Structure 1
Amino acid sequence: MSLVNHNDVPLQPFPGGATYQTLVGDDEGSTPVRIGIQTSPPGYATPTHSHPYMEVITILSGSGEAWIEGQEGLATLEPGVTLVLPAHQPHWFRATGDQPLVTCGVHASPDRIVDIHEA
């Protein structure tokens, strides 16, 4: 068993001011899943994107909203909500409110692969 102390995991900057911490996974792809915590500042928004594998996102703190192709309206993101996204399903999310949106994402892949969709 491995123990991951979040304080020992470096932050990876994302364009737009968000950060990502890879808790499980490495550059060699030695694990069957990749798990990370993303902290998105107020107003941050991802581009419309998808992944070639299932992604599960749990909201840890903050608030936001998400668009998921094939679903009517926007999903409200708040603690206690988990999104389960099948492979290749376009989606985006954004942080709303005045606090960062903190999410824990599980990628059913050894690598984090993001396919950006043009508007």
Structure 2
Amino acid sequence: MTPIVLTPQGLPVKDRGGGIVTTPLVTAGRGSRAMLTGITRIAPGAAVPLHTHNCEECVVVLSGSGVAHIDGTDHPVSPNDTSWIPAEIPHCFRNMSDSEEMAIFWTYASIDATRTIVATGVTTRIDEER
């Protein structure tokens, strides 16, 4: 298999509304190594809606600071902090700054990852959101 090096310029960008923009980066499907990765940028004061996934997720804060709300508990986060979130656990990230964008790098443990928004119950496949 040939390795891939990508830069965010020129990749599709998904505007999820409310100050949330996502750039899906790599989908790799090789048996137990299957994963999906990307970067989400959260505008000052914005929050990703509370949601769950059907698989584990790892999130690394690249820039900015805010709060990771995971399973009912708030955790302050800043650059280089990493969160591991088990499948089906409600979570979201909020940018608490009034001037600085927050960027998070995420990895799902499946190329078949789904997101279910808690408030609406609507489920979508992550790879279909592109």
Please tell me the TM-score bracket, short chain as reference: 0.7 to 0.9
Matched residue, 2:10: 8
Structure showing greater relative contact order (alpha-carbon pairs closer than 8 Å, 6 or more residues apart): 1
Matched, 1:66 2:68: yes
Residues in 2 aligned to 1:57 and 1:33: alpha-carbon distance in whole angstroms = 13
Q: How many Å apart are 1:112 and its aligned residue?
A: 4.0
Q: Give deviations 1:57-86, integer Å, cap 9, x for gaps.
A: 000000110211164xx1011002000000
- Does the aligned pair in 1 maintain the 2:20–2:48 contact within 8 Å? no
- The counterpart of 2:35, out of the listed 22, 33, 36, is 33
1:44 aligned counterpart, secondary structure: coil
User: Aligned runs of 1:1-119 on 2, under 5 Å?
Assistant: 1-25=3-27, 31=29, 32-69=34-71, 71=73, 74-97=74-97, 98-118=99-119
Q: How many Å apart are 1:118 and its aligned residue?
A: 2.5
Give the residue type in structure 2 aligned to 1:2.
I
Residues in 2 aligned to 1:102 and 1:70: alpha-carbon distance in whole angstroms = 22
Residues in 1 aligned to 2:48 and 2:6: alpha-carbon distance in whole angstroms = 27
Residues in 2 aligned to 1:2 and 1:92: alpha-carbon distance in whole angstroms = 29
Provide structure 2 residue ranges, at least 5 long, that are not aligned to the other structure.
121-130
Given the two structures, how large is their TM-score scaled by the length of structure 1? 0.86
Give the residue type in structure 2 aligned to 1:108.
A
Give the residue type in structure 2 aligned to 1:77.
V
